[in-house]
Structure 1
């Protein structure tokens, strides 16, 4: 979870709390709010909904089938296929931006990825902004797009299904469906034969294309009241009328080598020992979680601070006759449908006109998954990762009823205090050390240059390696670790004394920045910059730029440095 969530369970998995993650997130949010405020203008908002196929499937269909047949019969698919788009336009009708909601996990690139990557949602936003801001660098411009998540708890972008690696044997990751020795059950995206990145591109492109199509339709116009309510509540105190989370999913297998699989309803001898060493679950906890076998009693461990969140935040926004709701949990397909249906019914009982109820999540923290009562009994990954038991969805619905009621009455709602454990946070990552350049070099020097003796063409990759500092010294918020620059001639067509124009940054899909430590003891490292040239690149003269920071010996002051490759030609 990136090192910014408070609870110990989520910090352990990423070696703790990281200020390099938290500070840019907070500052980025502040910057976004400030820019939005500084650019307030009259405009309009409209809603469009359309079906997007071949982009998502259910990764736990056996669990979904446990839901009542009469309920399932109301829907054509076992996942939500509709994309919902809010389009924002200025008073002349010119586009300002869009928000898209579509249920699909961001796991196209999966655990094979070692780069900072926005997965299919990030690619969709990137392509949309490049399309709507055609003359901008890396898509940054007037038009802003956001590809938000919806009820994707059991939804995967690996649309070809799951197979045992290295074989054509289908699988589902359960204890009754084991792969051959040395093989694991993995989902396959539409471009899997080429790479995970190709699957990511395809799924992201399809979302971008649909969102742009819906935006251009200019659908249902929103007008009327703008309102919101939010509530912090302790879900463990709510009264309402699994160990195999470690097995992972078919999107990223977990501890199957230790005998832990999806849909197990019993523990293993080894994990039972580990469980009891950390904390033996109470009888009440075992009853609450049944039929889930408890791997680790995270809900009752509070050292050095709570392992699971207990106080959660939910929100309800009103934009005229459209309502947006959010939870910190990842809701499965049917959970999201039930929640939306319940909220819509409650709103209408108060006399609200409801065009649509949009579910957006997870938001405002993280609280793992939320299945329906029926899906919980199967105890696949999603049920095993529902930490508050089989009635979690009903608790959310009850809490949202309160939000609807106070919104209808024009009153406020009581909330409990949100705990703050940041002062107790830990980090197991190695500390920042002083940086030193490689011997006989200075920061920014080129170690391996581009090929200057030949002409690059579409389909080729240009690469250069530089003497670097640790990128943790500065995460380059609103900036870039790399550039691809084109030499633009002045009038007359001559390159002499021409101007370098940035055409790519580290935000672009076809560029990559890789950092590697050469000597941890001496603080020496290098950075590799790569650019894939495609047929949209104009013929001309180019160079690669590297931008970094190094930490000095005594003062520990962080100092910027930069370097450029030799110029090269693209034909």
Structure 2
């Protein structure tokens, strides 16, 4: 009997030891960057430069720490960007270690994941191919991104408190489709039979609450491309996931919180979206009802191109964006409110930097120096590119004319050509090193553990089946090491950018995703083998080996327009009204737009991080709310900023040589707006020609009524 009690006590102590209570923290910060004159990252559409803001873009940070050992923690950051720069992460870690020491936040336990929005400024990727797509390495974009990410993590750090985590998973329909169904069908039938859909329809939500049950935030993972807003857009925004985060924050945070920002922080993270589109109605030749897929044998009539259509396409791409974002928000809140499946257990993390181009799988499958295929130049149905020049999806052979042209830049070696088969190489990015390497070969993968839930990341855009295989492989490896797994979540692109990762079978089709898989047909196998190393290191309690990350930013170029001095008309001051609000006798009503324009300076003079270029203000003489600014009447209360979906900040350079520009403020009135007196406000900065001093200015419209 005595031995029985001893055994029982040992078992109880062992059970107590594996129960890990958590401390959690959330934080958010602005990373918008320059909203004018800088090219957007994603579509590589020459001339798609910023002209203002539809909504600001944000970094949202989440910290989970062991309640008993505060040094055991992980940091997940979601950024509303096309991808994440490896140098951005390096600088973030350096800044964090200056503030908190060398051991608390490291490359191992900080994951920077992106939503893959195509509507934000570029310039934060150090390889030449990506620099060319946005005209350079741009510190104006990179520095506020680093600053904002660090600020978001610092705010999460300062808010860490005892808390609870819950995980929930459910289907979300009518929100994504496969834009390369023909490639998906290349995968083995038996494998496809394991799944109901040709894209992942599951949304996974990790919910954060205080120990008292107060809502603190959520992270939602759902696979859908950030291309609801098309390549004609010139206003910064976070696409469908940015909108989802915005409306979720506004709904949960206390009523009246400006722009929805408060203690509750919602992130809508990306998953294996490589072949997944938000344009759920399918693809059609523009101006027709002819369906298409962008392939060579499926041409559109002359003057028409193959474009995806979102659910609100008849109204605008912005309306499609709103619908897809709202559906993600609604499902995430439904899952969050269930508070089922509370997590507990070990917190752990591993990351590994490795040279993918030097890998050999099973002694025979060689990885390649990076290269991009002909179909890469065709673009996708979400953003067609050079289709009028003879490029199509599913090109497994080059053309004589383009072969001559591309060989002027670089003729691929026979080894490279053989390695990349059946990809016809258009850009031999791995063998061009001027002015710096055109694509990375040193990549980072990462694995987080929260009890029996794991979060894996790569810098690539994984296709649907690539993501499924990777998750299955990680789970199988964990189980083989005696580790029970509830779920493996894939998040990315994270910690860098390496274009796409298609399966071996999809690669043979050479649609856009396969043509944009840089390292050859065995790229996915290389990722899986390297994750096996991470799993083994985690199971053994040992570090994973890594190679150094190269920094080429001192070799980078910047061809974006320089900032020049601002000038005002002789008869006006900066901030003066150019075109005032039209004051209507009966006031404005739902469905109408109010606008005014002002003499402006270049918004690049001050990025206004965590601030705003515009306000919509309501006259409320009895209010004690925060003033618009120190010189304003305290009766005017800010109800909208440039982060709100129903406002637009537009900037136009009227006269380039004279340095004159205009800011146009717009506000769409809807049925949620209360009757009252309102005005529009503009806040900017101008730079002088002699001292290059930046000076603030502002202006207000004439008050107007809303009925």
Determine if the TM-score, normalized by the shorter chain, exceeds 0.5. Answer: yes
Deviation per CA, 1:41-74, whole angstroms, max 9, x where unpaired? 1101110001000000000011000100000000
Partner of 1:385: 516
Report the CA distance shift for 1:498/1:355 in structure 2 as closer, same or farther (over 3 A). same
Q: Give the one of 681, 689, 697 matched to 1:553.
A: 689
TM-superposed CA distance for 1:452, in Å, is 2.2
Partner of 1:8: 128
Preserved CA contact (<8 Å) 1:20 1:475: no
Supply the distance in 1 between the matched residues of 2:557 and 2:623 (Cα, whole angstroms).
58
Preserved CA contact (<8 Å) 2:623 2:635: no
Partner of 1:570: 706
Supply the distance in 2 between the matched residues of 1:284 and 1:546 (Cα, whole angstroms).
59
Partner of 2:620: 488
Note the residue ranges of structure 1 that are not aligned, 5 or more in a row: none
Partner of 2:330: 209
Partner of 2:608: 476
Comparing 97-106 with 261-270, greater Cα deviation is found at: 261-270
Supply the distance in 2 between the matched residues of 1:9 and 1:254 (Cα, whole angstroms).
16
TM-superposed CA distance for 1:244, in Å, is 1.0
Q: Give the one of 633, 650, 654 matched to 1:514.
A: 650
Partner of 2:161: 41
Preserved CA contact (<8 Å) 1:162 1:170: yes
Partner of 2:557: 426
* Residues 1:257 and 2:388 are matched in the alignment: yes
Supply the distance in 1 between the matched residues of 2:400 and 2:577 (Cα, whole angstroms).
55
Partner of 1:535: 671
* Residues 1:231 and 2:352 are matched in the alignment: yes
* Residues 1:135 and 2:267 are matched in the alignment: no
Partner of 2:590: 458
TM-superposed CA distance for 1:213, in Å, is 0.3
Supply the distance in 2 between the matched residues of 1:354 and 1:459 (Cα, whole angstroms).
50
Supply the distance in 2 between the matched residues of 1:103 and 1:413 (Cα, whole angstroms).
29
Supply the distance in 1 between the matched residues of 2:660 and 2:398 (Cα, whole angstroms).
46
- Give the alignment of 1:281-296 within 5 angstroms: 281-296=412-427
Deviation per CA, 1:428-477, whole angstroms, max 9, x where unpaired? 11211111112311111110000124311111000000111111111111
Supply the distance in 2 between the matched residues of 1:497 and 1:524 (Cα, whole angstroms).
30
Report the 3-state secondary structure (helix = DSSP H, G, I; strand = E; otherwise coil) of the residue aligned with 2:455.
strand
Report the 3-state secondary structure (helix = DSSP H, G, I; strand = E; otherwise coil) of the residue aligned with 2:444.
strand
Report the 3-state secondary structure (helix = DSSP H, G, I; strand = E; otherwise coil) of the residue aligned with 2:322.
helix
Q: Give the one of 192, 209, 212 matched to 1:72.
A: 192
Report the CA distance shift for 1:403/1:497 in structure 2 as closer, same or farther (over 3 A). closer
Supply the distance in 2 between the matched residues of 1:186 and 1:258 (Cα, whole angstroms).
17
* Residues 1:167 and 2:298 are matched in the alignment: no
Count of residue pairs the alignment pairs up: 568
Supply the distance in 2 between the matched residues of 1:19 and 1:483 (Cα, whole angstroms).
28
User: Cα RMSD between the aligned structures?
Assistant: 1.2
Preserved CA contact (<8 Å) 1:260 1:268: no
Report the CA distance shift for 1:270/1:474 in structure 2 as closer, same or farther (over 3 A). farther
Q: Give the one of 135, 138, 143 matched to 1:23.
A: 143
- Give the alignment of 1:75-90 within 5 angstroms: 75-90=195-210
- Give the alignment of 1:255-334 within 5 angstroms: 255-334=386-465
Partner of 1:440: 571
Supply the distance in 1 between the matched residues of 2:425 and 2:607 (Cα, whole angstroms).
39
Supply the distance in 2 between the matched residues of 1:386 and 1:420 (Cα, whole angstroms).
23
* Residues 1:371 and 2:502 are matched in the alignment: yes
TM-superposed CA distance for 1:497, in Å, is 6.8
Supply the distance in 2 between the matched residues of 1:352 and 1:501 (Cα, whole angstroms).
55
TM-score by length of 2: 0.79
* Residues 1:145 and 2:258 are matched in the alignment: no
Partner of 1:99: 219
Partner of 2:171: 51
Report the 3-state secondary structure (helix = DSSP H, G, I; strand = E; otherwise coil) of the residue aligned with 1:514.
strand
Partner of 1:505: 641
Comparing 23-32 with 556-565, greater Cα deviation is found at: 556-565
TM-superposed CA distance for 1:270, in Å, is 3.0
Deviation per CA, 1:212-259, whole angstroms, max 9, x where unpaired? 000001121111111100000010011112111110000010111001
Preserved CA contact (<8 Å) 2:296 2:394: yes
Preserved CA contact (<8 Å) 1:446 1:564: yes
Partner of 1:186: 307
Report the 3-state secondary structure (helix = DSSP H, G, I; strand = E; otherwise coil) of the residue aligned with 2:231.
helix
Partner of 2:232: 112
Comparing 337-346 with 32-41, greater Cα deviation is found at: 32-41
Report the CA distance shift for 1:197/1:373 in structure 2 as closer, same or farther (over 3 A). same
Preserved CA contact (<8 Å) 1:108 1:189: yes
Preserved CA contact (<8 Å) 2:417 2:425: yes
Supply the distance in 1 between the matched residues of 2:216 and 2:621 (Cα, whole angstroms).
33
Preserved CA contact (<8 Å) 1:490 1:498: no
TM-superposed CA distance for 1:498, in Å, is 5.9
* Residues 1:63 and 2:179 are matched in the alignment: no
Partner of 2:14: none
Preserved CA contact (<8 Å) 1:324 1:358: yes
Report the 3-state secondary structure (helix = DSSP H, G, I; strand = E; otherwise coil) of the residue aligned with 1:295.
strand
Deviation per CA, 1:481-520, whole angstroms, max 9, x where unpaired? 111111112189xxx9761111111111100011010111
Report the CA distance shift for 1:375/1:497 in structure 2 as closer, same or farther (over 3 A). closer
Note the residue ranges of structure 2 that are not aligned, 5 or more in a row: 1-40, 42-121, 363-372, 625-631
Report the 3-state secondary structure (helix = DSSP H, G, I; strand = E; otherwise coil) of the residue aligned with 1:456.
coil
Deviation per CA, 1:317-360, whole angstroms, max 9, x where unpaired? 00111000000000000000000000000011111111100000
TM-superposed CA distance for 1:551, in Å, is 1.1
Report the 3-state secondary structure (helix = DSSP H, G, I; strand = E; otherwise coil) of the residue aligned with 1:220.
coil
Supply the distance in 1 between the matched residues of 2:620 and 2:137 (Cα, whole angstroms).
45
TM-superposed CA distance for 1:33, in Å, is 1.1
Q: Give the one of 300, 306, 321 matched to 1:200.
A: 321
Report the 3-state secondary structure (helix = DSSP H, G, I; strand = E; otherwise coil) of the residue aligned with 1:560.
strand
Report the 3-state secondary structure (helix = DSSP H, G, I; strand = E; otherwise coil) of the residue aligned with 1:441.
coil
Report the 3-state secondary structure (helix = DSSP H, G, I; strand = E; otherwise coil) of the residue aligned with 1:270.
helix
Supply the distance in 1 between the matched residues of 2:681 and 2:401 (Cα, whole angstroms).
52
Report the 3-state secondary structure (helix = DSSP H, G, I; strand = E; otherwise coil) of the residue aligned with 1:516.
strand
